[in-house]
């Protein structure tokens, strides 16, 4: 054996010895630790909480205690009890708890008691000898002032002081806003609330701030107060579970409501206020307090005496702020301490992946270096290639001669390839056209059926959602603006639908303004509903087409697989039924299919079918409901109301057939017929001496947006030789939202001719004061829902009074609809309502009955 080989053997031997010593020692140490842990005696621990289990402060302390004990002394049996002192602060509950704990722990040896907050600490001291094996106590959540009062002369305890010191929070608040002078302190009148509130106010005084307690206020008064605060104030939330009247409050709701109404930041004493309206601050952490208490408990479990362990007052706080609240009060992040945590902060790629970004930059630098080296070598290669090119020129010339002789064959081959490519493209084109819509390029019905065969076959584990989407009022747009305009609108709408869909499913066009949206792999119907909301939201912005601005909406019906059908035809049918239900409910909404809709859909189809022949069969009749003038006590006006007595269905409610008439555009001839009937009737009454009587006729959105609408109204008035001032047209607030500019122009023209314009069902929709000022409104009709509330509550009476005052201040005639009780009449008369309409005076009557009422 050579000397070199002997050295290799010796080195290998040393390596083996080192490996055995190192890993053997590690293994022995691990075994010893495990043995020590296993022989450590098992301990019984009682964790006694003052408050209820659902209280966030209590839950956080409990979590901190258990986490630390399980980590540092796992060989324990832990029992957790809750006194619920905040909800039941009475001596009777103490008696009950004494009996309960005596029954449960009398024969169980307890080695340690950990208490949270004042009530549990006090109860454990008083009863540990009788109930809890005279075990040592570790307390948490008790402030400095209460320790000596509670403990007295007792021994064998230690703990963690709840250090309530908002000083740092006040310093941060002054740093953010140096103008702060007052601190409004929110606390309740419980033992802990008064104690905590007093400490907070003392600290505020020490900072030369004026503390203002809010413990005597009702919750409503408190909300009113905080909503009026100016820039010189802040609100500090201490301990608050009931208002000044003793009304119990849910913490989360109270915190959120105060934050919502407060005009200044809401600072919190405890970190469980985060995500519940808290602005932030240096906040006490229940988890940290629990950690500290558990560490003291572990020392006792390991043999130390509780009396020998000093009571500690650690800084169990976190400096935390809510980014959403910072944004709300326009507070820049740089004003906060550098150590502050910020929750709900928007995602920052650089901050999150800083190391990765730096690594990428380093890689790019190395690559750049390699690139430079590569360029140098490329330069050398170019020189070599130049030399090769010169030497290869002869060979190239020879090669070109050979290529020239083969040129004709190559040309023929190119032609063959071109023909093959053309045939392939034609085949792809026709295949695409067979499966796609020509206008939008979207997959068509045939494509939907083919796709569904694969998706629906044997796939019942995952749900599918089929959305039937139909544009509202598209027929009107297509008829009035032209088919080319309609095609362009369909195209743009499909693009917006595709953008909303993203990668969650497939969009198909059935034809016209109908689309199908197939969403794959949803968990439940709530996912489908959430997606339908997103689709409707995507159309809140207007479309601009050929210098015209349109706001369009969609009605959506949805069906789920396999809940509502096992075939694509069944799903389309169910979704179509649900879509019609959405249109019935007012359009611009979605409805999920329910089997009960089948009956309603069938009824709607029947109504739609019979409506087309109802006018020819003279099944319609106009009724009139009188309007009484409160000053003259006379009938001064009539409202024309359409009634339908079908030969097959009997009396059909206007609620059922008016919407169908609008959807099918039958409302246009129907509305014109009603207007003519009303004008003929009022003309007859005028001829019999009732010259001052007026008649009002309801006008729908579709009617007023028709081209030639104003001309038609004028022609009808002239044909009956009526004074325009005797006719009043009633519109709803919905018309204003759908096409304000067009409506304004047409109504203004009619108003200038003397025709009165009434705004029907005021307060039920979304009209603004700006609309009321701009539009030529002559009459304001208060919706029946407000009149009903006059007899019920003060809020309804107040709203009704303000509507009357508003209308009169704008010079309008005020009419109250649906008056049914004398109490309503007296209230309306008191606040100078002009006219009354309702069953208290008269229900809607046929024309002949109206004549009898008027003694004609």
pLDDT tens, 119-157? 999 999 999 999 998 999 999 988 888 888 888 889 999
User: What CATH architecture applies to the domain 436-595?
Assistant: 2-Layer Sandwich (3.30)
For every residue of 507-547, DSSP letters joined together read: EEEEETTEEEEEEEEESSHHHHHHHHHHHHHTTSS-EEETT
Question: What are the sequence ranges of the domains in the chain?
Answer: 1-35, 43-161, 436-595, 610-853
| pLDDT of 219 strictly over 90 | yes
CA distances from 130 to 106, 110, 127, 151 (A): 8, 12, 5, 17
584: tokens are 């019935």
Assigned superfamily of 43-161? Response regulator (3.40.50.2300)
| The pLDDT value given to residue 268 | 93
25 pLDDT higher than 60: no
Return the half-sphere exposure (C-beta side, CA atoms, 13 A cut-off) of residue 659. 14
- Alpha carbon distances (Å) from 218 to 98, 308, 587, 750: 35, 47, 43, 54
- Quick one: what percent of the chain has pLDDT higher than 70? 90
* In the block, residue with structure tokens 């005596």: 102
CATH of domain 610-853: 3.20.20.450
Structure tokens at 434: 């067979």
pLDDT at 702: 84
For residues 393 and 388, give the distance between their C-alpha atoms in angstroms, rounded to a whole number.
Answer: 9
Identify the pLDDT of residue 416. Answer: 66
More reliable by pLDDT, 748 or 28: 748
Residues sharing a CB contact under 8 Å with residue 302, sequence separation 6 or more, in sequence order = 73
The tokens for 832 are 């100078």
**Confidence (pLDDT) at 17:** 38
Q: Is residue 101 within a helix (H) or strand (E), and if so which, with residue range?
A: helix 91-105
Strands of 653-726, DSSP E: 694-698
The Cα 513–Cα 556 span in angstroms is 12
Other CB atoms within 10 A of residue 244 CB = 16
pLDDT digit string (tens) for 824-848? 999 999 999 999 999 999 999 999 9
Measured CA to CA, the distance from residue 236 to residue 244 in angstroms comes to 17
Q: Which two tokens stand for residue 388?
A: 């090769």
610-853 and 436-595 share a CATH fold: no
Tell me the pLDDT tens digit for each residue of 258-310: 999 999 999 998 988 888 889 999 999 989 999 999 999 999 999 999 999 99
């Amino acid at each position: 054996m050579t000397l070199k080989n002997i050295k290799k053997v010796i080195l290998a031997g040393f390596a083996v010895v080192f490996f055995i010593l190192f890993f053997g020692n590690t293994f022995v140490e691990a075994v010893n630790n495990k043995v020590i842990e296993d022989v450590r005696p098992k301990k019984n621990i009682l964790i006694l909480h003052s408050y209820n289990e659902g209280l966030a402060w209590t839950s956080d302390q409990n979590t901190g205690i258990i986490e630390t004990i399980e980590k540092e002394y796992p060989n324990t049996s832990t029992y957790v009890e809750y006194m619920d002192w905040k909800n039941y602060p009475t001596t009777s509950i103490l008696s009950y708890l004494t009996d309960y704990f005596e029954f449960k722990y009398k024969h169980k040896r307890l080695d340690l008691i950990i208490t949270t907050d004042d009530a549990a600490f006090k109860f454990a001291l008083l009863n540990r000898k009788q109930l809890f094996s005279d075990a040592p106590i570790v307390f948490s959540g008790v402030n400095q002032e209460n320790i000596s009062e509670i403990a007295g002369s007792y021994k064998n305890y230690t703990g963690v002081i709840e250090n309530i010191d908002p000083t740092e929070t006040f310093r941060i608040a002054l740093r953010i806003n140096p103008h702060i002078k007052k601190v409004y302190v929110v606390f309740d009148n419980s033992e802990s609330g008064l104690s905590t509130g007093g400490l907070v106010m003392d600290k505020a005084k020490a900072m030369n701030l004026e503390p203002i307690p809010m413990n005597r206020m009702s919750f409503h008064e408190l909300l009113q107060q905080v909503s009026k605060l100016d820039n010189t104030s802040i609100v500090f939330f201490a301990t608050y579970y009931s208002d000044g009247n003793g009304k119990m409050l849910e913490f989360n709701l109270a915190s959120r409501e105060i934050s919502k109404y407060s005009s200044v930041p809401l600072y919190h004493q405890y970190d469980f206020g985060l995500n519940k309206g808290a602005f932030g601050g240096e906040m006490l952490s229940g988890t940290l307090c629990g950690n500290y208490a558990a560490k003291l408990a572990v020392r006792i479990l390991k043999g130390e005496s509780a009396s020998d362990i000093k009571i500690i007052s650690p800084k169990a706080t976190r400096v935390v702020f809510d980014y959403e609240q910072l944004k709300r009060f326009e507070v820049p992040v740089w004003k906060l301490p550098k150590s502050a945590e910020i929750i709900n902060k928007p995602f920052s790629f650089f901050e999150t992946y800083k190391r990765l970004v730096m690594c990428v930059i380093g890689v790019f630098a190395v690559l750049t270096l390699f690139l430079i080296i590569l360029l140098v070598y490329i330069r050398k290669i170019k020189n070599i290639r130049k030399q090769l090119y010169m030497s290869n020129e002869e060979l190239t010339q020879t090669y070109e001669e050979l290529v020239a002789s083969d040129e004709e064959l190559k040309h023929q081959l190119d032609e063959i390839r071109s023909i093959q490519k053309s045939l392939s493209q034609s085949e792809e084109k026709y295949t695409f056209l067979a499966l796609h819509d020509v206008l939008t390029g979207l997959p068509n019905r045939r494509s939907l059926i083919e796709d569904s065969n694969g998706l629906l076959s044997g796939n019942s584990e995952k749900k599918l959602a089929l959305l039937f989407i139909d544009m509202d009022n598209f027929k009107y747009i297509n008829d009035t603006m032209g088919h080319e305009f309609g095609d362009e609108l369909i195209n743009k709408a499909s693009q917006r639908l595709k953008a909303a869909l993203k990668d969650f499913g497939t969009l198909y066009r059935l034809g016209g303004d109908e689309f199908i949206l197939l969403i794959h792999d949803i968990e439940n119907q709530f996912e489908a509903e959430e997606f339908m909301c997103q689709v409707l939201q995507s159309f809140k912005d207007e479309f601009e087409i050929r210098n015209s601005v349109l706001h369009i909406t969609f009605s959506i019906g949805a069906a789920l697989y396999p809940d509502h059908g096992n075939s694509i035809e069944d799903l389309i049918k169910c979704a179509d039924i649900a879509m019609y239900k959405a249109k019935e409910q007012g359009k611009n909404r979605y409805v999920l299919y329910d089997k009960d809709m089948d009956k309603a859909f069938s009824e709607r189809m029947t109504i739609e079918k019979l409506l087309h022949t109802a006018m020819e069969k003279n099944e319609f009749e106009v009724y009139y409901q009188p309007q009484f003038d409160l000053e003259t006590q006379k009938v001064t006006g009539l409202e024309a109301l359409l009634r339908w007595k079908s030969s097959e269905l009997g009396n059909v409610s206007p609620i059922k057939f008016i919407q169908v008439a609008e959807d099918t555009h039958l409302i246009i001839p129907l509305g014109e017929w009603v207007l003519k009937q009303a004008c003929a009737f009022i003309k007859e009454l005028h001829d019999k001496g009732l010259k001052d009587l007026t008649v009002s006729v309801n006008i729908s959105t579709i009617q007023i947006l028709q081209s030639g609408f104003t001309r038609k109204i004028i022609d009808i008035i002239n044909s009956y030789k009526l004074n325009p001032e005797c006719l009043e047209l009633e519109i709803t607030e919905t018309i204003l939202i759908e096409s304000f500019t067009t409506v304004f122009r047409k109504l203004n023209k009619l108003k200038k001719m003397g025709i009165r314009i009434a705004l029907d069902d005021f307060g039920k929709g979304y009209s603004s004061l700006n609309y009321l000022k701009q539009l030529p409104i002559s009459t304001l009709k208060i919706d029946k829902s407000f009149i009903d509330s006059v007899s019920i509550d003060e809020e309804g009476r107040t709203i009704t009074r303000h509507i009357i005052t508003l209308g009169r201040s704008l010079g309008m005639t005020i009419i109250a609809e649906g008056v049914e009780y004398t109490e309503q009449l007296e209230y309306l008369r008191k606040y100078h309502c002009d006219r009354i309409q309702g069953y208290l005076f008269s229900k809607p009557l046929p024309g002949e009955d109206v004549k009898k009422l008027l003694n004609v």
